Amino acid sequence: MRSKEIKQLLKDQLRAGSGENELGSIFLWGSPGIGKSAVVAEVAKEEGVGCIDFRLTLCDPTDLRGIPIPYTGKDGEQTAKWIAPSELPRNGKGFLFFDDFPTAPPLVQASAYQIAIKPHQLGEYKLPEGYVIVGAGNTMKDRSLARAMPKALSNRFAHITYEVNYEDWSDWGIKNGIHEAVLGYIHFKPDHLHVFNPESSEEAFATPRSWEQTSRILKIVKDESIQAQAIAGSVGQGIAATFQAFLKVRNELPNLDKIFDGENIVPDRMDLKYAIVTSLATRAKTTQFDRLIDYSSHLTDELAVLLVKLLMSKDRQSVGMCKNWRPFAQKHKELVL
């Protein structure tokens, strides 16, 4: 399932809550670094609710179950009461997020096992009905220290496989300030967004997370030699080499201000075309959207739609108000839809 679809599913889960008509607990499966944790936090931020993140691989059983204290009942009988951790929610709405679930010790998994289904209770602690449970983890084939999940525990969740999609990631990236060179490269080489081989001995590999780190490197590190080594340490030597070649291509870009001012300059080479489209979209102000939609008529259909989709990711409403939008949408309606 793509990230956009997962976000909608999480919003539906949140709306249903954990009461009588709950959707149930959800588990997100996927390779390291693809954004499983980020998508839960992003939905929480968009919905204005809490997100309590338990990294289960770092937890002891008492971190969820709490600790027992002596208690004397009215009849004088000595028993024990369990004091739940302060991190667990007492009221409100949000996500109780169990990350790194398959790497957690079995006793910690057992504690999460109890709270994952109705009545969502752990000892004397009960999950507020406004909170829902989401788990996430890497698969066994990823070789990331994952343990097999017991079938009884597995049956407590609806299992969703997180599908990496470069268009979804690009939409997120342009809203969150990902460097235009990274966006351009991923559109030029979409299969390089996520390259994970559990058999490889190389420590670094390309994932949405490592491309986000690469974006930060480009913004912060100014020395080109250090920058190149840091990028290789983020996405791996092979992909870093092709990315560095793409960075050099960007130096051949025409003056973008001339395009904004009305000149319809279109490079011949495909790598330059991808670079110019993402650079224009990243730099464009809403007042320049109409000009870029007009400019898109001089591009191939694929690149024209890419340019306008990137603008829509920045501000869909402003695109819809452009005078050139209606003719564009009519011409490209199949691709736009």
End-to-end CA distance of the chain: 19
SS (H, E, C) 104-128: CCHHHHHHHHHHCCCCCEECCEECC
C-alpha–C-alpha distance, residues 53 and 122, integer Å: 17
Question: Of 161, 195, 215, which closes a domain?
Answer: 161
Same domain, 178 and 97: no
Q: Do 246 and 104 share a structural domain?
A: no
Element (H, E) at 260: helix 256-260
For 276-295, the DSSP string reads HHHHHHHH--GGGHHHHHHH
The tens digit of pLDDT for each residue in 128-174 reads: 999 999 999 887 675 555 566 767 777 888 999 999 999 999 999 99
Domain span at residue 287 reads: 166-336
Handedness of CA 160, 164, 167, 168 (dihedral sign): positive
pLDDT, tens digit, 9 for 90 and up, residues 87-131: 889 999 999 999 888 888 777 877 777 888 888 988 778 999 999
What tens digit of pLDDT does each residue of 182-204 get?
999 999 999 999 998 877 778 89
CA distance 240 to 236: 6
The answer to whether residues 231 and 151 belong to one domain is no
Q: Are residues 236 and 132 in the same domain?
A: no
pLDDT given at position 299: 94
Residue 112 to residue 98: CA distance in whole angstroms: 8
Question: φ, ψ for residue 253 (rounded to 5)?
Answer: -65, 145
The confidence score (pLDDT) of residue 145 equals: 58
Residue 8: name the closest of 58, 42, 54, 37 by CA.
42
Q: Same domain, yes or no, for 24 and 136?
A: yes
> Minimal CA–CA distance to 92: which of 131, 120, 40?
131
Same domain, 130 and 247: no
Q: What is the pLDDT of residue 336?
A: 60
The structural domain count of the chain equals 2
pLDDT in tens, 209-256: 999 999 999 999 999 999 999 999 999 999 999 999 999 988 888 899
Q: How confident is the model over 268-319, as pLDDT tens digits? A: 999 899 999 999 999 999 999 999 999 999 999 999 999 999 999 999 999 9
Which residue, chain included where needed, has tokens 């499966």? 29
* 125 & 229 share domain: no
